[in-house]
Amino acid sequence: MKGIYVLDACALIALLRNEPGADIIEQLIKDAFGREVKIYMNKVNLLEIYYDAYRSYDGKTADRLLANIIRLPIEFRADISDEVMREAGRLKAIYRISLADSVALAEASVLKASLLTADHHEFDVIEKSEQISFCWIR
């Protein structure tokens, strides 16, 4: 894999749970350690992962998981630029998707990156209608 990628929460959760598609994310992270690719994730999407771990396990486990994730070669974007904000708002309004999904999509759109995801139920219609690149993990 070469290029620029934005991770959706479900893609990183697939890796953490060793679900189908985990091998794709694992290879991408290896490539990022080797500086062959660049990976981004907005903290809104990281929040989804933290929330999932907190809900599924407990706060201590969620904190430990978060500490491990932050060490990965992923650039976590703490801000939402004006351009990403407008694009996320437009996508959310048109497609009625979650706020976190709209932010991930907007990051991919603005960065001219591929969105790594497994959320076909959310994104199939968007892939057909928008000029956003998708990299499906399953």
User: Of 56, 47, 70, whose CA–CA distance to 17 is shortest?
Assistant: 56
> Over the stretch 2-46, which tens digit does the pLDDT of each residue have?
899 999 999 999 999 999 999 999 999 999 999 999 999 999 999
- Look at the chain and report how many structural domains it folds into: 1
Model pLDDT for residues 54-96, shown as the tens digit of each residue: 999 999 999 999 999 999 999 999 999 999 999 999 999 999 9
CA–CA distance, 11 with 85 (Å, rounded to integer): 22
Residue 1, pLDDT score: 61
Rounded CA gap, 97 and 11, in Å?
17
Single-letter residue type at 130: E
Q: Domain containing 82 — which CATH number?
A: 3.40.50.1010
For residue 134, give the 3-state DSSP assignment: strand
E strand spans, 8-72? 37-42
**Mean pLDDT, range 116-137, rounded to an integer:** 96
What domain range is 90 assigned to? Answer: 3-136
Q: What is the pTM of this model?
A: 0.94
